[in-house]
Amino acid sequence: MEFKVTTLRLPKETIKVLEELAKMLRREKSDIMREALQIGVREMKIRLALELYSEGKISFGKMSELTGLGYRELSIELRRRNFPLRYGEERFDEEVKQLVD
């Protein structure tokens, strides 16, 4: 993986928490920051996808693409969040296609 340096201004309290986590986990602060950012980006993508899906703007398949989660993993994530699925002809067709492929 190629890395690029960027600057980010964070509150002192956040830096302190990151340093404490790094110490507890015996890892570099930069590693902790990268992982936290990756988790945050993943969560933001899921939230956006859920919002668009609930508004009927994207399909389950598109939600899977946007989040980077497979159908099964996405279904588990939705159940974990108690998020209702729209189940119609489009969803049925997507599941049939997945089973055939």
Q: How much is the pLDDT for 47?
A: 96
In sequence order, the 6+-apart residues with CB closer than 8 A to the CB of 67 are 42, 45, 46, 49, 74, 77
**Rounded average pLDDT over 68-82:** 91
- pTM, two decimals, is 0.75
**Rounded average pLDDT over 15-33:** 96
* pLDDT value at 83 more than 90: no
